[in-house]
Amino acid sequence: MSPKMTAHIKSVEEMMKLGAAAARLATAGSVIGLVGDLGAGKTHWVKGFVAEMGCAAEVTSPTFGLVHEYRGGRMPISHFDFYRLESAEELIALGWDEYLEAGGVVVAEWANKFPSIMPPETQWYYFKIDADGSRVVSDRPA
């Protein structure tokens, strides 16, 4: 997605294509923050991202595991979900800093819960459910 871009998504496939497009731009050390309500499409976006990176693993929401690691693609991906975390200290205890320094890509759902620990170069994507049930994804808050 280019700067100041908004995408109107009408299907899971389109959401996955949007994630794939972002993966083509990712470099070692990229950090991506995803923001949006439950069911807004964040995990489907990650599915497209991981597939485009060349990893065949099944992508699921890390809501209960807090972090999933995907290996075997062009670079490792660490997929976080901050939804159940109560504090930034919990995230740091999970090894947040080590993941950031590992040289792969870090993708964090619900990243807006702890914006102070997100690196300044974080790429942000905002997801929302439109009135007609479609999804809107933007690189800036609505």
Of 63, 69, 140, which is closest to residue 109 (Cα–Cα)? Answer: 63
The total domain count for the chain is 1
Report pLDDT digits (tens) over 10-58. Answer: 999 999 999 999 999 999 999 999 999 999 999 999 999 999 999 988 8
Which structural domain range is residue 94 located in? 6-138
Domain presence at residue 76 = yes
Residue with tokens 């504090």: 87
Domain presence at residue 1 = no
Report pLDDT digits (tens) over 81-121. Answer: 999 899 999 999 999 999 999 999 999 999 999 999 999 99
Tell whether pTM > 0.75.
yes
Full 3-state SS string of the chain: CCCCCEEEECCHHHHHHHHHHHHHHCCCCCEEEEEECCCCCHHHHHHHHHHHCCCCCCCCCCCCCCEEEECCCCCCEEEEECCCCCCHHHHHHCCHHHHHHCCCEEEEECHHHCHHHCCCCCEEEEEEECCCCCEEEECCCC
Evaluate if residue 125 carries a pLDDT over 90. yes
Domain presence at residue 13 = yes
Q: Output the domain CATH number for residue 124.
A: 3.40.50.300
Q: Residue 56's pLDDT is what?
A: 87
